[in-house]
Structure 1
């Protein structure tokens, strides 16, 4: 399926947010409706690998929105490099933005989808690294019907800035949709003990979830760099598409 790309600036509670939109070619005039996916990036925002992942999902018949997760902290269109400077800036942004701001960002994305007559009510969330955490965070909204979280960072540690609300994992019981959690056993950012903590929280919350641990590094889905595992990436794209078709 061929796809088309565009950009839109959405109004959020904390300022304008640039969003990259991917969808089947001619979706607005095809006379069909499509489910949607909110796709959350790494700390580097929408890099080339993130864009290719969005294209992969959209080409299966989804409207995919990729928000700039740190829109309050950078000029629109900011993409950080996969180097030490980019990592330092991305982590600085991660430790600066309170979790509650992502909730209002998510609501702005959901409200925008409602204005598109060719988008169905079925909306899923997916993300990698900090984006895996943000996809989990999005799943706290009952409008999200299915969520695919890849090596979600900082979920187990409860250390991201949080105002008067709760840390994300403490609200796990709010999730109503189906959830898939994916991890790399050789990921230095999430230890075995950290994964066990998340697993136990999901059990206690009585969620409908699947759990996958692979012999893989952090960021094994990113198709740049030595950590990329193409076979595992293909397997996870297939699992994610199957999940979102079940919404």
Structure 2
């Protein structure tokens, strides 16, 4: 399926008046300009909307979903991606715990509203993301308008350390998730240890969430992400964490 790409700047208020850029990837069908599709919010890692994240989103759009990608560090920088290097990593990690959790939630709500406001959206909304984006996907699922969410190796949920003050309420609000939730972790992920994964699973069970929980043997953090790139070559994948075979299995077996 062919796709078209554009963007929309929307006003934000929680952290002061500003704007957030939402990148849009839209499927097209020749001869059917008014065809309707479900929408998907794609949340990136700490580096904002990078080339690898965009390629991931294009794959989703090519299956017949309208994909919206929010640039969530708009309080600190422009919509451009951060570099996969030391300074880029440091900036992303700093901003991750500087931004207000309420501002993250506003970004997600604005993106969902943007999708639902499109004449070509059929009203069904899903969300997905990796790493920090996995956690933001989980929080996006707190919005009752979201009917399905797929979180890949979501960080900081088990420790409740997202945002300003490093004290989020994501696990406490698990019962607010009304759609279906899928969580995927690598069993060798140092960022979300076994006891952390057990806590998430137990909390979801006790909250009565409709969820599936997958732990991939021998997979590390970011095993789905061909995105730990060398700054000298924008399409070189890291051999440290990216696992193509396991990534393909997860991609083939997961659906929004």
Q: What is residue 223 of structure 2 aligned with on the other side?
A: 220
Q: Is 59-68 or 77-86 further displaced after alignment?
A: 77-86
Q: What is residue 203 of structure 1 aligned with on the other side?
A: 205
Mapped contact 2:43–2:133 kept (Cα < 8 A):
yes
Deviation at 1:12, TM superposition (A): 1.9
* Counterpart among 29, 50, 53 of residue 50 in structure 1: 53
Q: What is residue 17 of structure 1 aligned with on the other side?
A: 20
Mapped contact 1:100–1:162 kept (Cα < 8 A):
no
Query: How far apart, in 2, do the equivalents of 1:99 and 1:8 lie?
Result: 23
Three-state SS of the structure 2 residue aligned to 1:210 is: strand
Runs (4+) of structure 1 exceeding 6 A deviation are none
RMSD (CA atoms): 1.7
Mapped contact 1:124–1:147 kept (Cα < 8 A):
yes
Q: What is residue 250 of structure 2 aligned with on the other side?
A: 236
Q: Tell me the TM-score normalized by structure 2.
A: 0.89
Q: What is residue 233 of structure 2 aligned with on the other side?
A: none
Query: How far apart, in 2, do the equivalents of 1:161 and 1:222 lie?
Result: 23
Mapped contact 2:188–2:219 kept (Cα < 8 A):
yes
Q: Is 61-70 or 228-237 further displaced after alignment?
A: 228-237
How do 1:129-148 and structure 2 match up within 5 A? Answer: 129-148=131-150
Q: Deviations over 1:198-221 (max 9, x none)?
A: 111001101110011012111111
Mapped contact 2:98–2:164 kept (Cα < 8 A):
no
* Structure 2 runs not aligned, ≥5 long: 227-236
Classify 1:50/1:69 alpha carbon distance in 2 versus 1 (closer, same or farther; 3 Å): same
Deviation at 1:61, TM superposition (A): 0.1
Whose helix fraction is larger, Structure 1's or Structure 2's?
1
Three-state SS of the structure 1 residue aligned to 2:172 is: helix
* Structure 1 runs not aligned, ≥5 long: none
Aligned length: 240
Mapped contact 2:224–2:242 kept (Cα < 8 A):
yes
Q: What is residue 159 of structure 1 aligned with on the other side?
A: 161
Query: How far apart, in 2, do the equivalents of 1:27 and 1:61 lie?
Result: 13
Classify 1:141/1:105 alpha carbon distance in 2 versus 1 (closer, same or farther; 3 Å): same
Q: What is residue 63 of structure 2 aligned with on the other side?
A: 60
Mapped contact 1:24–1:63 kept (Cα < 8 A):
yes
Three-state SS of the structure 2 residue aligned to 1:96 is: coil
Q: Tell me the TM-score normalized by structure 1.
A: 0.92
Q: What is residue 127 of structure 1 aligned with on the other side?
A: 129
Q: Deviations over 1:176-229 (max 9, x none)?
A: 000000001111111111111111100110111001101211111112211211
Query: How far apart, in 2, do the equivalents of 1:27 and 1:68 lie?
Result: 30
Three-state SS of the structure 2 residue aligned to 1:169 is: coil
